[in-house]
Structure 1
């Protein structure tokens, strides 16, 4: 758990002195792809959205600025979301 608490959260400002997870929030670990190792805050997401995954804006994917990285839950471990590809 200590390792998880030191991780950076997707969307945190680069200037944020504490870009890690916040107490009381729920996170998914992003695995592989351009956002590998980041945590996604899914606090308050409904069950269907958690099942569907997410399209996350990133400048470091295949499509550069404005592109998106697609991540979805791993069937055997839904707390970890695997990269499914990039999209414009």
Structure 2
């Protein structure tokens, strides 16, 4: 199994032992970019907050500390599309 296949269906930011989705939470699918296939817990986030989300990643264009930018396709859609990478905070 390669790294991409291993990450599919796992929750972004969750511990490796507890990386699967929980039934009491709401998730969005990350589509494209370095975090493609991961789920993001959006349970307490508004549609406005999901217009653009910057997620820290070590596997994006800017390496460790860089961020992958994702945004919701439309109101109520459970997919966040990759919009590019950005360096992390200085």
Give 1:28-39 correspondences, 5 Å limit.
28-39=28-39
1:68 corresponding residue in structure 2: 67
Which protein is richer in strand relative to its size? 1
Name stretches of at least 5 consecutive residues in structure 1 with no aligned partner: 1-5
Give 1:4-15 correspondences, 5 Å limit.
7-14=9-16
**Aligned-residue offset at 1:77:** 7.1
- Cα distance in 2 between the residues matched to 1:26 and 1:53: 17
Relative to the length of structure 1, the TM-score reads 0.82
Aligned residues: CA RMSD: 1.8
Relative to the length of structure 2, the TM-score reads 0.80
2:48 corresponding residue in structure 1: 48
Segments of 4+ moved more than 6 angstroms: none
**Aligned-residue offset at 1:76:** 8.2
